[in-house]
Structure 1
Amino acid sequence: MTYISAPPSAPAHGHSGSDWGDDGPPPEGLGQAIDLKRLIAVFRRRLKLFTAIVLLVLAVAIVVTVRATPLYTATANLMIDTRKENVVDAEAVLSGLTADTGVVDTEVEILKSRHLAETVVDTLKLTEDPEFNPSLRAPGVLQSVAGGVASLFGAAAPDAARARLSAIEAQKVKEEVVDTVLSRLSIRRAGLTYVMSIGFASEDPAKAARIANTFADRYLLDQLDAKFDATRQANEWLNGRLSDLRIEVQQAEAAVEQYRTANNLLSASGATLTEQEISTYNQQLATVRAQQAEAEARLRTARAQLASGSTGDDVGEALGSQVVQTLRAQRATVSGRVADLTSRYGPRHPDMLRAQRELSDIDTQIQAEIQRIISNLEAQAQVARERTASMANSLGGARGALAANNAAGVRLNELERNAESSRTLYQSFLDRFKETSAQEGIQQSDARIVSRAAIPTAPSSPNVPLNLALGLVLAIGAGLAMIVLAEMLDSGLTTGEDIERRFNLPHLGSVPILSSVAEPADRHETPVDYVLKRPLSSFTEAIRALRASILYSRIGQDIKVIALTSALPGEGKTTTAICLGRVAAQSGARVILVDCDLRRRNVNRLLGVEPEQGLLEVLNRSASLETAIHHDAASGLTVLPLAKNSFTPKDVFGSEAMTQLLAQLRSAYDLVILDTAPVLAVADTRILAAHADAVVFLTLWRKTPEKAISNALKLLSQSGSHVAGIAMTQVDMVAQSRYGYGDAGYYYGDYKKYYAN
């Protein structure tokens, strides 16, 4: 067979799997710095993969860059305007924007909004532009076939269903166009300023400028529309509210008047009628009281004069009476005539008597007139008293009415306050309505265009240097990711450090693949012949190192019986066993190799022998050990092979005969090598391994899965076998010296000249 192996390793120092303790070896890297050399070794090991991935990604980036459609970016600049024209001195319904950072960032997000993009799409009818609507582009072959099939199946659909589908498709197309427009749009704020840049990329430079300017225009119009809508809604609400308030004012005022009328609280010139009436009564009462006092004073004076003996001539009213004055004049005339008659006639003269009677009549009339005047004074005094009493009664009634009116005025005041508050509220709303009505048509945008987008003269995309740089970064990242992925998926063992870290077992050695260490002229040789032909070669030295590691794997105990096994077939057990036996025999030891693989008999094939008697015949007592063994004349190795076509279903390795045979071989030879079958394939190996002083577990370099090794070691542990350690076979020394940091093979380039091939 063609045998493949790996670099020689320093012998293990005889520690077994339990030497690490119950918890196993300390985790790799614990308390240590990052192992840069190990990382470099991993990178070197995966350099080809890394290079391939980097070249592939770079090629894709170059192809994408070359095939990309050139795009032109036009930019318009807007600024949040902090200065406002104050046309009318009235508070706006929708206040202007403040120019702080949060507001500017918010406006940037509004510029990125889907609503604004939809407005631009509708304004410029971009759904009819093939650049943004892929369905308007010339269809390819697959699209044509798909369209034909769709139309074929859609022909039988009802018209209403087709109309609904058309509406849905139209909306879907519009949404896709909006998504495309948003992907081409770039909004950014210039540092911490109030300036916002609107950039848009298109295949057509003029179209890019037009769309960027439309975004700026629609943004300003949306601001104005928002203010117009807010003002209009405020006016509509104020108008409706004014109608309600007007009704409330009317109802409140009507309630006041109704209450006034119902409670006789009518007023004029700011005072109620009752108050005015009381004021009049007070004035009139004062007048009549004065008149009463005057009449009573005249009456008392006249009575006092009469009581003092006066004839009444000196009474004031009599002095002023025309009748009394006339009578007094007549009496004076008659009195003059009586005096004249007295001088001429005697007292009994008829003329004298007539004159005296006439004088007496006049006096009687004067007294009667005076009595009438006194009686008139009494009547006037009585009338004055009655007038005063009547006026006082009227004043008292008016005061009673005023008290009732004052009690009713409490409720009237409440109604008047309600009416006044309704009037005040109505007036404030009316004033605000007039202000907001005056604002319509003079609203200002909170931003202004600093510079409109100009038609770009050079494409902004693809940016070849940037794309290549990003492609290189992405390629390196992908290459490194693939290295990490490959290392994660690589479950094989590469170095002795891997063995000790993963399985808590010693690394016994590494057997190289012959093609990696032999001279070109010797690469056709088989490993079992090469150890004899080149005893001083690095390959033979690797076998010696393996033998030494095995012999010293159990300090203080002799290792005479060793079993070589593996997890899977084809991992170099037989080749390693023969090489190990020949090297040990050449050193002067008595060595016997027992072929225990009943299904393969690879020892016969490698040594070129076909014996008639072998191991099974010895165990069956049909042949003696001396007749069954074969002597390797070239090396002095003794071999107990398997006879041709020999097989038995019996458990021969667990028999007493096998135990006796091993005891016989242990006493007759210095080293007994058991070439066994794979652990996972054949159960016999676990029985046989329990009889060995040490089990050497072989694994194929970078090939044997870690899970298979773990399962095999678990089975050996359950059988009570002592696994001395793990050795790697078919190690590529060239690759190991290049990549295998952490293993002695890493330094193969330094010591390979030490060997003589």
Structure 2
Amino acid sequence: MAEVVNPVEARDVDDAGFDVLSFIADFRRYILLFGLVFIAIFALILVPLVTQAPKYTAEASVMIDPRIVNTTPGKEVVSDLPADTATIDTEVEILKSTALAERVMTDLDLDQDPEFNPYIGERKKFLGFIGDSQPIKKATTADEADARHQVIINKILKRVSVKRQGATRVINVRFTSLSPSKAAAVADAWARLYLVQQQEARVSTTRDASNWLDSRLTELRAQVETAERAVQQYKIANNLMSSEGATLTEQEISNLNTQMAGVKLDEAAAAARLSTAKRQLATGSSGDDVGEALNSGVVHSLRTQSAEVSRKVAELESRYGPRHPEILKAKREKEDIDQQIRAEITRIISNLEAQVQVQRQRRGALEQSVSQTRGTLAGNNRAQVRLNELERDAMAARTIYNSYLERFKETSSQEGNNRADARIVATAKRPTNPSEPRIPLSIALAFCGALGAATTVVMGRRALDRTITTSNEVELHLAQPYLAGLPLLNVSLDKAAAKMDPSTYLMEKPLSVFAEGFRTLKTSLIYGRNGERAQVIAVTSALPGEGKTTASICLAQVIAMAGQSVVVVDCDLRRKSLNKFIGHKVEQGLLEVLAGMATIDDVVVDGPGGKLKLLPLAQDTDTTKDVFGSLVMDYLIHRLRRRYDIVILDTAPVLPVVDTRVLARKADVVAMLVRWRKTPREAARSALQILIDSQAPLSGVALSQIDVHKQAKYAYGEGAFYYEEYKDYYMQ
């Protein structure tokens, strides 16, 4: 027996990749459904589009201007917009913002326009004729008012389109309205209010910056005052007050050093004078030539007197003798004067010594003062470290304050600068032609929508179709060889078919396409098993109503017409379907033969046309015994083999009845019928799996009750697809 593929494995094939041939076949199969859905959806989309009220679109253009015009000194608070892509895209989003839409709505009173406010006026009749017109109620709560307000804004935003013009800095603002004038007015207002919004934003930002700087300056001013007050208080507390760039202690030390230098000079001069005078006296001088004496008026006067007395003595000595009273008197007078001179010189020396002593005392006092002041200065220097910190803090606070003060002055000067970073380059013109409805676009949209919907419906219908239609699907979904396609005998095949049964039709039209289908089945079954000739053929199906008995009779008729002896055995204990081909009540049949109550010759009757034989089941005989699994059944089949060229077993359906599982193993080949576009794939798979598990000699699957005209539409790429091309080859 040929290798049989497990049909369960075919389940994985259901999800195979996209197959062009299958898609074309499915399209042809559901062409009517596709057409109906396409026409319906096309009309549903197109009619509302082309019958809507005409709308007009106006366009205004603004340009982001990166050029900087400095009209105020210093750096501006709000920098100019750069011309990069991100900035321009940001401005596009601002132009589409709700805030700008609200400004336009308020500026043009669009909330009072019924085109944008659906809550104005009366509610229209449903579909234009059902119900009465009713006034629309006003909003009663804040939430309801906000919701209605948002509805109006959304309607306005749906009408506006903001797009960048290529890679330029130009942004186009388009607005669509039922009125061409209104469209132009709104587009212009949109661009104008965008610039106003920019100006207000710049002014507001500058004002906010100025106010912030002012408050910050107040804080910094207090910090500066606190820092400088701390410096002054620290100076006072630590005696670090200064004048002319130096502290008072430093100035005092400087003054003391100056005084010390003067005192030292005075002391040295006094000591020098004293030393000179003493040195002169020590060398035998009478003191007349002592420097201080020379400068003394008393000594000078006494010396004058002494000189006068000496002249007088000399004059007296020239006239008188040495003992003359006048001469003695004059000499005594001169001695007194000299004594006075010596006393005066002694006093001068003492005075010089006193001066030296005074200068020494002054120097000592100054040295003590300098020492004390230096100690004070050392303490001041230690305190100066902290003072330097306080002064640095105060200087830093002052520097920050000055920088903020300068920036505040610059910002204040810019408060009147309301320059925008964009400008209008084109105002909106009143459109003369409507922009909607666009007939070509509407047709294209309707076509695409209808095509998509129809394709979706067809694909959905295809996904829901779990039946078998073509030979490819037999092999794809059931993983079994395709034996033959058995046409449905109906008016579409032949008008005469409605008046006769299939076996009679075969005899009258043996060269018809109907007969050719059974000849194909015969060839596939009898000669298809590796060149071995099959003699016992079992015909079965998954479910009732798939045409097993009719197929068995027609197959037997074709075999009989070929000159072979053939018998059809009714093995369906419940339906007993062969009886309808006999024409009289069957009293004895298969069960009676198996029970030994009758012979084969007693029960075999002629079939339609008299060339084939039928072994029926008695109408009034039933049994619950396993008659098909018995040795008697085996012996009966053996005897039938010897008597007839071909034995056809018309069995019961596999799924509802267990008899076929036993009987199928006794045949040479088993043909399973699957009703075209009727039997579910899952049922066919289950039946095939049962036969395989029962080790039945399964030959393949034949499709029954095929509408050959429809099959030609479905079986794209298969032989049946070309039926219309070769149908005239058959004799009808």
Q: Calculate the TM-score normalised by the size of structure 2.
A: 0.91
Correspondence 1:625-636 to 2 at 5 A? 625-632=600-607, 634-636=609-611
The equivalent residue for 2:678 is: 703
Any idea what the Cα deviations from partners look like across 1:57-97, whole Å, max 9, x if unmatched? 22123211233232221211111101132111221223221
User: Match of 2:163, SS?
Assistant: strand
Do structure 1's residue 74 and structure 2's residue 53 form an aligned pair? no
Corresponding residue for residue 718 of structure 1: 693
Q: 1:547 to 1:320 in 2, by over 3 A?
A: closer
Deviation at 1:655, TM superposition (A): 4.2
Q: Any conservation in 2 of the 1:302–1:374 contact (CA below 8 Å)?
A: yes
Note the 1:226-237 alignment, pairs <5 A.
Answer: 226-237=201-212
Are the aligned partners of 2:470 and 2:714 in contact in 1 as well (CA < 8 Å)?
no
When residues 211 and 358 of structure 1 are mapped into structure 2, their CA distance, relative to the original with a 3 A threshold, is: same
Distance 1:532 1:348, change over 3 A: closer
The higher-RCO structure (CA 8 Å, 6+ apart) is 1
Structure 2: state its 5+ residue gaps. none
The answer as to 2:375 corresponding to 1:391 is: no
State the secondary structure of the residue aligned to 2:499: coil
Spell out the pairing of 1:488-637 with structure 2 (5 A cutoff): 488-515=463-490, 518-555=493-530, 557-632=532-607, 634-637=609-612
Q: 2:75 aligns with which of 87, 91, 96?
A: 91
Pick closer, same or farther for the CA change 1:487–1:359 going to 2, 3 Å: closer
Partner of 1:260: 235
Distance 1:630 1:354 in 2: 221
Residue 271 of structure 2 corresponds to residue 285 of structure 1? no
Higher mean displacement: 133-142 or 438-447? 133-142
Corresponding position of 1:154:
none
CA distance in 2, matches of 1:336, 1:577: 201
Identity %: 47
SS at the partner of 2:4? helix
Q: 1:137 to 1:503 in 2, by over 3 A?
A: farther
1:400-419 matches, cutoff 5 A: 400-419=375-394
Shift of 1:741: 2.7
Report how far residue 98 of structure 1 moved.
0.6
Deviation by residue 1:141-169 (Cα, 9 ceiling, x = unmatched): 56998999x99xxxxxxxxxx99x72222
Give the whole-Å Cα distance in 2 for the aligned partners of 1:359 and 1:749.
187
CA distance in 1: counterparts of 2:381 and 2:53, whole angstroms: 94
Residue 6 of structure 1: aligned partner: none
Q: Are residue 673 (structure 1) and residue 648 (structure 2) matched? A: yes
Segment drifting more, 545-554 vs 232-241: 232-241
Of 679, 699, 707, 1:732 maps to 707
- Residues 1:480 and 1:334: Cα distance change in structure 2 (over 3 Å): closer
Distance 2:483 2:289 in 1: 175
Say which is worse superposed, 65-74 or 352-361, in terms of deviation.
352-361
In structure 2, C-alpha distance between the alignment counterparts of 1:633 and 1:383, rounded to whole Å: 176
Question: Residue 344 of structure 2 corresponds to which residue in structure 1?
Answer: 369
CA spacing shift, 1:648–1:380, aligned 2, 3 Å: same
Change (3 A) 1:487 1:299: same
Q: Name 2:462's counterpart in structure 1.
A: 487
Confirm or deny that 1:48 pairs with 2:32. yes
Q: Which amino acid aligns with 1:295?
A: A
Task: Give the distance between the partners of 2:600 and 2:193, measured in 1 at CA.
Answer: 104
Distance (Å, rounded) in 2 between the aligned partners of 1:218 and 1:633: 96
- Seen in structure 2, the aligned counterparts of structure 1 residues 336 and 141 have a Cα distance that, compared at 3 Å, is closer
Q: Distance in 2 between matches of 1:707 and 1:580?
A: 27
Q: 1:434 aligns with which of 384, 409, 415?
A: 409
Contact in 2 for aligned 1:246/1:426 (Cα 8 Å):
yes
Distance 1:653 1:430 in 2: 115
- How far apart are 1:670 and its partner, in Å? 1.7
Q: Counterpart of 1:136 in 2: which secondary structure?
A: coil
Match of 1:132 in 2: 116
User: Who is 2:669 aligned against?
Assistant: 694
* Matched residue type, 1:45: R
Structural RMSD (CA)? 3.2
Q: Distance in 2 between matches of 1:528 and 1:203?
A: 74
Change (3 A) 1:310 1:552: same
Shift in CA distance, 137/529, structure 1 to aligned 2, threshold 3 Å:
farther
Shift in Å at residue 245 of structure 1? 1.7
| Aligned residue in 2 for 1:741 | 716
Distance 2:215 2:419 in 1: 26
Distance 1:350 1:205, change over 3 A: same
Of 87, 90, 93, which aligns to 1:103? Answer: 87
- Offset of residue 440 of structure 1: 1.0
Superimposed CA distance per residue, residues 620-667 of structure 1 (whole angstroms, 9 cap, x where no aligned partner): 444333222212372321112233344344444344543333333233
Question: Taking structure 1 as reference, are residues 465 and 518 closer, same or farther at Cα in structure 2, changes over 3 Å only?
Answer: closer
Residues 209 and 714 of structure 1: CA distance in aligned 2, closer, same or farther (over 3 Å): same
Query: Do the aligned partners of residues 416 and 214 (structure 1) sit closer, same or farther apart at CA in structure 2, a change above 3 Å counting?
Result: same
Alpha-carbon distance in structure 2 between the residues aligned to 1:517 and 1:238 = 96
Q: After the TM superposition, which residues 169-318 of structure 1 pair with which residues of structure 2 at under 5 Å, given as runs?
A: 169-318=144-293
Give the corresponding residue for 1:10: none
Give the TM-score normalised by the residue count of structure 1.
Answer: 0.88
Q: What is the identity, as a one-letter code, of the residue corresponding to 1:577?
A: S
> Are the equivalent residues in 2 in contact too, given 1:77–1:452 (CA < 8 A)?
yes
Q: In 1, distance between residues paired with 2:12 and 2:307?
A: 170
Q: Distance between the aligned counterparts of 2:497 and 2:508, measured in 1?
A: 9
1:402 positional shift: 2.6
> Structure 1 284/598 Cα, relative in aligned 2: closer, same or farther at 3 Å?
same
Could you tell me which amino acid in structure 2 is paired with residue 56 of structure 1?
A
Taking a change above 3 Å as real, the CA distance of residues 606 and 69 of structure 1, as seen in their structure-2 partners, is farther
Q: Which segment drifts farther, 408-417 or 643-652? A: 643-652
